[in-house]
Amino acid sequence: MDDIDSAIIRHLQRDARLTNRELARLVGVAPSTCLERVRSLRARGVITGYHAAVDPRALGRPLQALIFARLRPLSREVITGFQHYLSQQPEVLSVLVVSGDEDFVIQVAVPTIERLHAFLMDQVSARREVVNFRSSVIYQQTVTQVLAPVDEGRRGDA
């Protein structure tokens, strides 16, 4: 990864609909060079896809929450089964398998607090592998739209 690759990634994360010609102009390279760089970034797995960012509020789902769940027995089969189950639920935005006291953090977006309660009772607590869960309503969220490579020379403890 060099500065040109980083610039390409930065611009595509802000607007994945840029044409190759527009992207090349923004980055300062020839369109053929830009196209080859984007192809290389995709082949190396740096760029994994393109998508439209959607505001859940605009879809009638203004309430978001994090659900922290603990499962037992803890095995690969139980974890993958629960992950798959959650990924099929329309309320679920993201599923994280984590270390610590809980095994999962689940982000959901729902229309109302009543729908959140129903999701917790009907989709989470009804699962026999879930031995404990808790939830936290999200009041505000800041999302980093652009992910850049970490400068290896920079230390976070400075």
Q: Give the CATH architecture of domain 56-138.
A: 2-Layer Sandwich (3.30)
Q: For 18-49, write each residue's pLDDT tens digit.
A: 999 999 999 999 999 999 999 999 999 999 99
For the question of whether the overall pTM of this predicted structure is more than 0.85, the answer is no
Average pLDDT over residues 139-143: 91
Q: For 129-138, write each residue's pLDDT tens digit.
A: 999 999 999 9
Can you read off the two tokens belonging to residue 53? 């960012």
What is the helix, strand, coil percentage profile of the chain, to 5? 40, 20, 40
Cα angle for residues 90, 94, 97 (degrees, 5° grid) = 125
Would the pLDDT of 157 be above 70?
A: no
Sorted by where each begins, the domain ranges of the chain are 3-43, 56-138
Can you read off the two tokens belonging to residue 18? 């840029």
Handedness of CA 137, 119, 89, 96 (dihedral sign): positive
Q: How far apart are CA 50 and CA 13, in angstroms?
A: 9
Same fold: 3-43 with 56-138: no
Number of helices (H), then strands (E), belonging to the chain: the values are 5, 4
CATH of 3-43, one of 1.10.3720.10, 3.40.50.360, 3.40.50.170, 1.10.10.10: 1.10.10.10
8 Å CB contact between 102 and 70: yes
Between β-strands 104-110 and 63-71, what pairing exists: parallel, antiparallel or unpaired? Answer: antiparallel
Would the pLDDT of 148 be above 90?
A: no
Tokens 């992950």 locate to 83
Higher pLDDT, 141 or 144: 141
Q: For 43-88, write each residue's pLDDT tens digit.
A: 999 999 998 889 999 999 999 999 999 999 999 999 999 999 999 9
8 Å CB contact between 101 and 95: no
SS3 for 151?
A: coil
8 Å CB contact between 70 and 119: no
